[in-house]
C-alpha cells in the first residue's frame, strides 16, 4: 500500500470518528450555562433528609475536556522479552499481562515509604512494561492491593483496559497484573464540561445515590465511551465514590461530563477495602 493510500485511509478513519462524536453531542445536548448554584441549598437539604452526606465543598466551576482516542493494538506482548526480572503470563484474549518477581521483593517502612518502593519496582522496565505511565489511586487500593491507573497528558484513565494492580502479601510483592491502552491523543478541540456539583445533582435525580450513603470523593478522569474503526474513544467523566453507611461498601459511579448522563455500561468499579 503506497503512502498516499495510507494517508487517505487515516483521513477516512478520523473523519468517521469525528462524525460519530458529532452525532453523540447532537443526540445528548446539555445546557452548559453555569446554573449549578440554583437551588443547590434546597437540594442539599433534600439529600440530607435522605441520609446522604456530601463533602463540605463541591465545585460549581466548569472547565474543559476532550474526546480522546487510543489505537487498539497489542502493546504488551511486544514487551515480554524485556521483562527479565519477572516470570510472565500474557492473556491475548483480554490483553492482560501477569508478572511474578523471580527474586523476592520485600517492602518495609511507612505507607509512603512502601509506595516509593513500589514506584521503584513498577518504573523499572525489566519488571513492568510502561509502569512509569501509571499513577497510584488510593481510593481503589487496599492494604494488600495497590491499584494504579494509566496517566495521560489529559488526565487519568479509569478503565479495566488501563490499569495496574500490584498484589502484596507479608510485605512481599506476590505478582502484578497490567492492561495498557497505549498512546492517547485528543481527537476534537476542548469543550466545556459540567461542574462537579452538576454531576452530583444528576446522580441524585436519577436515583444513583441511594439513601443512607456518603459521597467520599469526586474526581475528574476519562472513561471508555465506545470503539470506532479500531480505536477506543474516551470521554471526560466525573467519578464519584459512594460509601454505604451500613455495609461500608464503596462503589465508583460515573457521569458523562459532557452530557450529565449516567454511564451505565461498566458503571461501577470494585473498590478494595483496607
DSSP 107-141: --SSHHHHHHHHHHHHT-TTTSTTGGGEEE-GGG-
Interatomic CA distance for residues 141 and 249, integer angstroms: 13
Q: How far is CA 174 from CA 72, 100, 120, 165, 198, in A?
A: 29, 6, 16, 11, 42
Within the chain, which residue ranges are assigned CATH 2.40.128.690?
Answer: 3-69+185-270
Three-point CA angle 48, 50, 54, nearest 5°: 40
The confidence score (pLDDT) of residue 84 equals: 98
The confidence score (pLDDT) of residue 267 equals: 44
Q: How far is CA 262 from CA 98, 101, 265, in A?
A: 32, 40, 9
The confidence score (pLDDT) of residue 40 equals: 73
Within the chain, which residue ranges are assigned CATH 3.30.310.160?
Answer: 74-178
The confidence score (pLDDT) of residue 68 equals: 97
Give per-10-residue mean pLDDT for the chain (274 aa). Answer: 54 64 55 50 91 95 95 94 98 95 97 97 98 96 95 96 97 98 94 96 93 96 92 96 94 95 64 49
Interatomic CA distance for residues 28 and 101, integer angstroms: 47
**Reported pTM:** 0.83
CATH number of 3-69+185-270: 2.40.128.690
Domain 74-178 CATH (choose: 3.40.640.10, 2.60.40.10, 3.30.420.40, 3.30.310.160): 3.30.310.160
Q: What is the DSSP string of 201-224?
A: HHHHHTT-S-SSEEEEEEEEEEEE
Interatomic CA distance for residues 270 and 274, integer angstroms: 13
The confidence score (pLDDT) of residue 188 equals: 85
Interatomic CA distance for residues 47 and 94, integer angstroms: 40
The confidence score (pLDDT) of residue 274 equals: 45
Residue 33: which residues within 8 A CB-CB, separation 6 or more?
none
The confidence score (pLDDT) of residue 244 equals: 94
Amino acid at each position: 500500500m503506497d503512502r498516499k493510500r495510507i494517508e487517505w485511509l487515516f483521513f477516512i478513519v478520523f473523519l468517521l470518528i469525528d462524525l460519530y462524536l458529532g452525532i453523540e453531542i447532537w443526540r445528548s445536548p446539555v445546557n452548559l450555562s453555569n446554573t449549578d448554584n440554583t437551588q443547590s441549598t434546597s437540594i442539599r437539604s433534600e439529600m440530607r433528609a435522605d441520609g446522604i452526606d456530601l463533602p463540605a465543598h463541591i465545585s460549581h466551576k466548569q472547565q474543559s475536556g476532550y474526546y480522546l482516542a487510543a489505537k487498539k493494538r497489542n502493546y504488551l506482548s511486544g514487551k515480554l522479552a524485556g521483562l527479565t526480572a519477572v516470570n510472565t503470563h500474557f492473556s491475548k484474549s483480554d490483553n492482560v499481562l501477569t508478572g511474578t518477581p523471580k527474586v523476592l521483593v520485600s517492602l518495609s517502612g511507612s505507607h509512603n515509604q512502601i509506595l516509593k518502593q513500589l514506584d521503584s519496582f513498577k518504573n523499572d522496565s525489566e519488571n513492568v512494561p510502561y509502569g512509569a505511565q501509571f499513577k497510584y489511586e488510593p481510593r481503589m487500593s487496599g492494604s494488600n492491593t495497590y491499584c494504579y491507573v494509566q496517566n495521560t497528558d489529559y488526565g487519568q484513565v479509569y478503565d479495566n483496559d488501563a490499569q495496574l494492580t500490584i498484589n502484596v502479601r507479608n510485605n512481599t510483592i506476590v505478582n502484578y497484573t497490567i492492561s495498557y491502552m497505549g498512546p492517547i491523543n485528543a481527537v476534537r478541540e476542548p469543550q466545556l464540561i459540567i461542574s462537579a456539583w452538576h454531576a452530583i445533582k444528576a446522580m441524585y435525580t436519577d436515583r444513583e445515590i441511594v439513601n443512607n450513603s456518603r459521597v467520599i470523593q469526586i474526581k475528574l478522569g476519562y472513561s471508555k465511551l465506545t470503539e470506532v474503526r479500531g480505536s477506543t474513544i474516551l470521554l471526560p467523566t466525573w467519578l464519584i465514590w459512594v460509601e454505604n453507611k451500613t455495609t461500608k461498601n464503596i462503589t465508583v459511579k460515573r457521569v458523562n461530563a459532557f452530557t450529565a448522563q449516567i454511564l451505565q455500561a461498566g458503571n461501577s468499579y470494585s473498590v478494595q477495602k483496607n
